Amino acid sequence: MRVGVLALQGAFREHILAFEALGASVRAVRLPAQLDDVDGLVIPGGESTAIAKLMRTYGFYEAVRARHTDGMAVWGTCAGAILIASDIVDASSDQEPLGLMHSVVRRNAYGRQVDSFEADLDVAHLGEPFRGVFIRAPLIESVSEDAEVLARHGGLIVAAREGDLLATTFHPELTGDPRVHRYFLDRVVGAR
C-alpha cells in the first residue's frame, strides 16, 4: 500500500513525515503520472487558489478524478477539503472543485488569520480528544446522506467521510498526533 501527497504547494512535507513515522510507503506527487501506483492521495493544506491553478496547468483534475474512479482513496485537509468538494461557497472566479465528495464547503469561514484557532475535538473512532488546528479554515456546510460526520466544532462540521473520501478542515499534520493519519491508512485506504 502506498500513499501519495500532492506536493504542488502547502504543508505537504508534514504529511509525508507523518506517514513515514507510521511506516507507510509515501511519495510526493508533483506530476499526474506519479498518481498511477498510489492507493491513496492526500491533498494538503495550502492556498486553495494557488493549488487549483497548478492542478489545472498540469492536468491534475482529469487524473485525480480518473484515479479516484479506479479506486484511489483521497483525503483533503483544509485547502484539500475545499478542492475535493462538489460545491465551493465564495469560490474565487476560476476555482473549480474536483467534485469527488458530495459536500458544500465555505472558504475562510471563520474570518481572517487573527481568527485562526486551536480547539479540542471529539473525533469519531479516535477515542481521546484530538487537538484541532484551524488556520483560515473552511467549513463543511453540508454532506450527503451517505457521509459520516466525524467531528463538529461549535455544532459545525469539521471532519467527514464519504466512502473512500475523507475531509478535515483542520490540520492533523501540524500536531504530531498520528491518529488521523493512522485512520486514513487503516480505515479509508485499507478498507477499499
Residue ranges that bind other proteins, judged by CB under 8 A: 7-14, 30, 45-47, 49-50, 53-54, 57, 78-79, 90, 92, 94, 107-108, 110, 112-120, 133-136, 153-154, 171, 174
Task: Specify whether 128 is catalytic.
Answer: no
Task: Specify whether 62 is catalytic.
Answer: no
Taking the complex as a whole, the smallest distance from the CB of residue 167 to other proteins amounts, in Å, to 17
Among candidate residues 44, 99, 53, the one with its CA nearest the CA of residue 77: 44
H-assigned helices in the chain: 12-21, 48-57, 60-69, 79-83, 179-183
Measured from the CB atom, the residue of 26 and 78 that comes closer to other proteins is 78
Measured from the CB atom, the residue of 78 and 147 that comes closer to other proteins is 78
- The answer to whether the beta carbons of residues 62 and 24 sit under 8 Å apart is no
Residue 177: its H or E element = none
Residue 79 cell numbers, joined: 485547502
Taking the complex as a whole, the smallest distance from the CB of residue 13 to other proteins amounts, in Å, to 7
Measured from the CB atom, the residue of 171 and 181 that comes closer to other proteins is 171
Distance, in Å, from the CA atom of 146 to the CA atom of 78, rounded to the nearest integer, reads 21
CA 133 to chain centre: 14
Measured from the CB atom, the residue of 10 and 76 that comes closer to other proteins is 10
Among candidate residues 107, 68, 84, 86, the one with its CA nearest the CA of residue 167: 84
Taking the complex as a whole, the smallest distance from the CB of residue 12 to other proteins amounts, in Å, to 7
Distance, in Å, from the CA atom of 54 to the CA atom of 93, rounded to the nearest integer, reads 15
Taking the complex as a whole, the smallest distance from the CB of residue 11 to other proteins amounts, in Å, to 5
Among candidate residues 60, 190, 187, 86, the one with its CA nearest the CA of residue 140: 86
Task: Specify whether 173 is catalytic.
Answer: yes
Taking the complex as a whole, the smallest distance from the CB of residue 170 to other proteins amounts, in Å, to 10
Choice among 14, 78, 153, 181 that is catalytic: 78
Choice among 15, 68, 171, 181 that is catalytic: 171
Measured from the CB atom, the residue of 50 and 149 that comes closer to other proteins is 50
Which residues does the annotation mark as catalytic? 78, 171, 173
